[in-house]
């Protein structure tokens, strides 16, 4: 029996585990993937700018630091296991996984982000054969795109960020999007223009033209509602059309949980759901004051842990005491000091 089980090992789940350790709760993380870090693994080289107190850093570095922090208090880790249902039995929570395992806890924090996600594939016949050559849904390394003609399809923040990251490295970048306006921050969109990214608004990919060997995309055919057809020569194509969400966990759980759009957990600003003892953190949580940033996930996590602590022990304080007086933190600070002295 654990005090709290955290479903999901991304930023929200890892910070929940850290804060739960501060509150001296016996903690377990169950993560579907065989690794921790969550969706940040989709963009390991992308620069993350918006975490308070941290300078801009690559996604992989953020993952490494989140894992180091999140495992400070040695939570139990169960990796490569998908939680298939959550059930409340005699006031306690029973979690079942696809492999048939059972896990029990007094409280639960759901931190699955957008759910177990798969990128939305390009809906063009035969496109899948190019996934082994030059059609991409993630960008694990920038090196591949140096000096190349790159076309990115998508109008989201991620697509804008990819275009800005690759523009200084690639020979040329085209950004294709269906709507009249992009979703990126104003400064990011201005940077696109400054870096000479070719913007194709209200356009979509109609077809892909292969090279003579039939193995690589050499041209993308775009369609515009007024201007018609345009051919764009390419070396690499990146599709950033979002992700499909897997809502099976909540759909198959026999608990009366209020949701929004049949997916997000409807909660309050303190990360509490409609089920006593069940809390949420990160993108899966929805309330009026929700902030969809990594920084917002950290606040969700701390609120969820504090609520879980008082649910288990009504006499507990509302928040964690000063962390620097914790034995684990003293040990961590000692190791950090030793690392710094070694560099000197």
Provide the annotated binding site for FAD: 31, 39, 43, 83, 117, 283, 324
Greatest distance between any 2 Cα atoms in the chain: 73
Q: If you ran DSSP here, which 8-state letter would residue 122 be given?
A: P
How many DSSP H helices and E strands does the chain contain? 7, 22
Question: Tokens 């630091």 sit at which residue?
Answer: 65
- Neighbouring C-beta atoms of residue 339, cutoff 10 Å: 9
Instruction: Quote the CA–CA distance of 221 and 230 in Å, as a whole number.
Output: 6
- Neighbouring C-beta atoms of residue 37, cutoff 10 Å: 23
Sheet strand arrangement including 135-136: 135-136, 236-239, 149-153, 172-176, 198-200
Q: Are 237 and 136 in contact (CB under 8 A)?
A: yes
Q: Which residues are annotated as a binding site?
A: 31, 39, 43, 83, 117, 283, 324
Q: What is the DSSP string of 81-109?
A: --EEEEEEETTEEEEEETTS-EEEEEEEE
DSSP helix/strand/coil, 24: coil
């Amino acid at each position: 029996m654990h005090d709290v089980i955290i479903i999901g090992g991304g930023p929200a789940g890892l910070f929940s585990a850290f804060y739960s350790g501060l509150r001296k709760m016996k903690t377990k993380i169950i993560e579907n993937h065989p690794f921790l870090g969550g969706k940040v693994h989709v963009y390991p080289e992308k620069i993350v700018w918006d975490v308070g107190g941290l300078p801009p850093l690559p996604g992989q570095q953020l993952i490494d630091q989140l894992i180091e922090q999140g495992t400070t208090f040695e939570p139990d880790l169960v990796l490569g296991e998908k939680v298939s249902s959550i059930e409340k039995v005699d006031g306690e929570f029973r979690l079942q996984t696809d492999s048939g395992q059972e896990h029990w806890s007094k409280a639960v924090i759901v931190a699955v982000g957008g759910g177990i996600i798969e990128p939305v594939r390009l809906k063009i016949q035969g496109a899948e054969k190019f996934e082994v050559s030059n059609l991409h849904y993630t960008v694990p390394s920038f090196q591949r795109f140096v000096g190349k003609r790159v076309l990115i399809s998508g109008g989201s923040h991620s697509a804008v960020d990819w275009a800005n990251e690759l523009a200084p490295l690639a020979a040329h970048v085209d950004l294709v999007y269906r709507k009249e306006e992009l979703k990126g921050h104003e400064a990011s969109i201005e940077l696109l223009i400054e870096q000479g990214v070719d913007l194709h608004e209200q356009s979509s990919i109609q077809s892909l033209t292969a090279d003579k060997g039939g193995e690589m995309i050499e041209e993308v055919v775009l369609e515009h509602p007024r201007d018609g057809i345009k051919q764009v020569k390419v070396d690499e194509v990146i599709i950033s059309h979002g992700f499909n969400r897997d809502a099976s966990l909540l759909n198959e759980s026999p608990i009366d949980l209020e949701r929004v759009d049949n997916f997000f957990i409807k909660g309050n600003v303190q990360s509490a759901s409609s089920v006593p003892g069940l809390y949420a953190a990160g993108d899966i949580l929805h309330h009026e004051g929700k902030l969809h940033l990594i920084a917002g996930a950290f606040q969700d996590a701390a609120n969820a842990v504090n609520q879980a602590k008082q649910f288990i022990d009504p006499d507990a304080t509302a928040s964690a005491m000063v962390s620097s007086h914790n034995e684990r933190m003293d040990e961590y600070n000692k190791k950090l000091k030793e690392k710094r002295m070694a560099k000197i």
